């Protein structure tokens, strides 16, 4: 049976182009969108606020909203720096805006934070680790899914053992991330690992195409 069309995919809040390129490598109609230019120059990058395009009939939206004011590791600063709490509220409103977009199939990605405790109506996320997808790295990340199957691990990379605990290449022996404080730290930490991007493209791309075959 011929496909009705190529699935139309938006990777929102992505400047790296990693997820977009993983889908495009599979000949899928994927676009990225961010206020910053794409690090991988492409005609398929929309440099604008995602609010301008997120409701334009995408079959799948994969969103990576900024996590600076939502993560567990940063929330303790809210009591010490009052203006941070207002930014946390703004970030949560952005999360709700993305979740309420009209895409039938949606993945929203964020590290462990306050999303579910502050927005009780949100579903529980699936948590994934880069080392489950062929990467020598640890970064526990939540995937809030709508209309999508859970992502299946592809290849587990073993970490080195330190005092009976596994540690990966991006971690110190104590388990902290090796990236020190810097203006680029948030940007560097925000990139999606290629192994996870490839799993998304393979598994969710096949899922969307399978749905079209059933139509």
Structure confidence at residue 1 (pLDDT): 30
Residues 6+ apart with CB under 8 A from 63: 11, 12, 13, 50, 54, 98, 106, 107, 108, 109
C-alpha 121/C-alpha 134 separation (Å) is 33
Q: Does an H or E element contain 10, and which? A: strand 8-12
Kindly state the tokens that stand for 53. Answer: 């395009």
pTM for the full predicted model: 0.90
Q: Are strands 105-111 and 141-146 parallel, antiparallel or unpaired?
A: antiparallel
C-alpha 82/C-alpha 171 separation (Å) is 31
**Strand partners for 12:** 33, 63
Q: Write the CATH number of the domain with boundaries 8-214.
A: 3.40.50
Q: What is the pLDDT of residues 45-97, one digit of tens each?
A: 999 999 999 999 999 999 999 987 676 566 555 666 677 778 888 999 999 99
Q: How far is CA 27 from the centre of its chain?
A: 21
Sites in the chain below the pLDDT cut of 50: 1-3, 182
Q: Are strands 160-162 and 165-167 parallel, antiparallel or unpaired?
A: antiparallel
Structure confidence at residue 3 (pLDDT): 40
Q: Does an H or E element contain 75, and which? A: helix 72-75
C-alpha 177/C-alpha 155 separation (Å) is 22
- % pLDDT > 70, the chain: 86
Instruction: Tell me if 112 sits within 8 A of 124, measured CB to CB.
Output: no
Instruction: Tell me if 96 sits within 8 A of 113, measured CB to CB.
Output: no
Instruction: Tell me if 93 sits within 8 A of 86, measured CB to CB.
Output: no
Structure confidence at residue 80 (pLDDT): 65
Instruction: Tell me if 173 sits within 8 A of 162, measured CB to CB.
Output: yes
């Amino acid at each position: 049976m011929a496909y009705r069309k190529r699935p139309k995919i938006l990777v929102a809040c992505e400047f790296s182009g990693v997820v977009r390129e993983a889908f495009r490598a599979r000949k899928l109609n994927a676009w990225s969108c961010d206020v910053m230019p794409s690090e991988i120059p492409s005609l398929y990058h929309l440099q604008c606020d995602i609010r301008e395009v997120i409701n334009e009939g995408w079959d799948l939206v994969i969103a990576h909203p900024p996590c600076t004011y939502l993560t567990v590791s940063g929330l303790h600063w809210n009591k010490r720096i009052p203006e941070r709490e207002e930014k946390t509220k703004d970030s949560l409103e952005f999360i709700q805006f993305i979740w309420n977009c009209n895409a039938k199939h949606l993945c929203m990605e964020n590290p462990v934070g306050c999303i579910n405790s502050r927005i009780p109506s949100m579903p529980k996320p699936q948590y994934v680790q880069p080392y489950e997808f062929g990467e020598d790295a640890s970064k526990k990340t939540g995937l809030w899914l709508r209309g999508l199957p859970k992502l299946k691990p592809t290849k587990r990379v073993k970490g080195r053992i330190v005092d009976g605990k596994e540690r990966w290449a991006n971690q110190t022996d104590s388990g902290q991330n090796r990236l020190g404080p810097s203006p680029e730290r948030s940007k560097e930490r925000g990139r999606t690992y290629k192994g996870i991007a490839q799993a998304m493209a393979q598994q969710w791309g096949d899922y969307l195409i399978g749905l079209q075959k059933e139509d």
